[in-house]
Amino acid sequence: MKILNCPINGPRPLQEFHFGGELRPNPLDRKDGADADWADYVFNRDGEPGVKREWWYHIPSGTWFIAERDNVTDQFQRTYLYGAEQTDG
């Protein structure tokens, strides 16, 4: 089982985490666009191979954070709290 470094709780086994999908724009910034753009925002995903920014949630402590992960090698590269992109996890 993988180990994931929660920015609050430190390295913990992956079983303690919930995957929350890719980091997407704030809907408030998208809601005024065309219908087609909204549908693209709602449904389409960046499912390509590569390093992704993703939401992860530490279940026991209720902590959401962002992880940068290569979805091919499954290597976590960085983790940090939402809005704290500058900080290394």
Partner 1 sequence: MPYRLLKYALHKDHPEPRMFRAPERLKEEYDAVIIGGGGHGLGAAYYLAKEHGITSVAVLEKGYIGGGGTGRNTAIVRSNYLTPEGARFYQESVDLFRDLSREFNFNLFYSERGHFTLAHSPASLNTQRWRAEVNKHLGIDSEVVDRAFIKKTVPEIDLDAGGHQAPIYGALYHPPGAIARHDAVAWGYARGADQRGAEIHQQTAVTGVEVRDGEVAGVHTDKGFIKTRKVLSAVAGWTTSITRMVGLRTPLVIHPLQALVTEPLKPWLNSIVVSASLHLYMSQSSRGELVAGASLDPYELISMRSTLDFAEGMSAGMLDLFPFLGDVKILRQWAGLCDMTPDFSPIMGTTPIKGFYIDAGWGTWGFKATPVSGKTMAWTMANDHDHELIKAFNLSRFGRFQLVGEKGAASVGH
Partner 2 sequence: MDRRLPPREGEWIDRSQPVEFRFEGQSLAGFAGDVLSSALWAHDVRLQGRSFKYHRPRGLYSLAGHDANVIVEDGRRTNMRGDLLPITDGLDVYSVNTSGGLQRDRWRIMERFDRFLPVGFYYKAFHTPRWLFPHYENQMRQVAGLGRVHPGNAAVETPKDYAFCDLLVVGAGPAGLAGAIAAAEQGLKVLLVDEQPHPGGSLNWQWSGNPAAQEQFGGMLEQVRAHDNIELRCGTQAAGAYNDYWIALVDDRRLTKLRAKAMLVATGCFEQPAVFQNNDLPGVMLASAAQRLLQLYAVKPFDRAVVVAANSDGYRAALDLHGAGVEIAAIADLRHDGEPTGLAQNAADAGIEILAGCAIAEAVPSGGKARIQAAAVCPLEKDGSLRTGSLRRIECDGIAMSVGWSPNVGLAYQAGGRFRYAEHVAQLVPSSLPDGLFVSGRANGRFELHDQIADGRRAGLCAAAHLGRFDGNLPDSPQHQASPPSHPYPIFSNNGKKNFVDLDEDLHLADFKNAHQEGYDNIELVKRFTTVGMGPSQGKLSNSNAIRILARLNGASINETGTTTSRPFYQPVRISHLAGRRFHPQRRTPLDGWHRQHGAEMMHAGAWMRPEFYTTSGSTRDECILAEAKNVREHVGLIDVGTLGKILVCGPDAARFLEHIYTGRFEKQKVGRLRYGVACDETGVIIEDGVIARLAEDRFYVSATSSGAAVFYREMQRWALIFGMKVTLINATGHLAAMNLAGPKSREVLAGLTDADLSPDAFPYVGVKEATVAGARAIVMRVGFVGELGYEIHVPASQGWHVWTSLMEAGRPHNIRPFGVEAQRLLRLEKGHLIVGQDTDALTHPFEADVAWAIGKDKPFFIGSRSLDIVKQQSLDRKLVGLSFPAHRSGPLPQECCLIIHEGEIVGRITSIAPASTLGHPIAMAFLRPDLANVGAKVTIRTTDGRTADAEVAAMPFYDPDGARQK
Q: How far apart are CA 76 and CA 74, in angstroms?
A: 6
**Is 43 near partner 2 (CB under 8 A)?**
yes
Which of the listed partners (partner 1, partner 2, none) does 64 bind, with a CB threshold of 5 to 8 Å by partner kind? Answer: partner 2
Query: Which region among 24-32, 49-57, 58-66, 78-86 touches partner 1 (by CB under 8 A)?
Result: 49-57
Q: Contact 54/21 with Cβ under 8 angstroms?
A: yes
Is 38 exposed, middle or buried, given 0-12, 13-18 or 19+ CB atoms closer than 10 A? middle
Residue 47: its H or E element: none
Q: What angle do CA 81, 14, 67 make, to 5 degrees?
A: 30
Binding site for partner 2 (CB under 8 A): 1-3, 14, 18, 20, 26-28, 30-31, 35, 38-39, 42-43, 55, 57, 62, 64, 74, 82-83
Binding site for partner 1 (CB under 8 A): 1, 15, 18-19, 21-22, 36, 39-40, 42-45, 47-49, 52, 54, 71-74
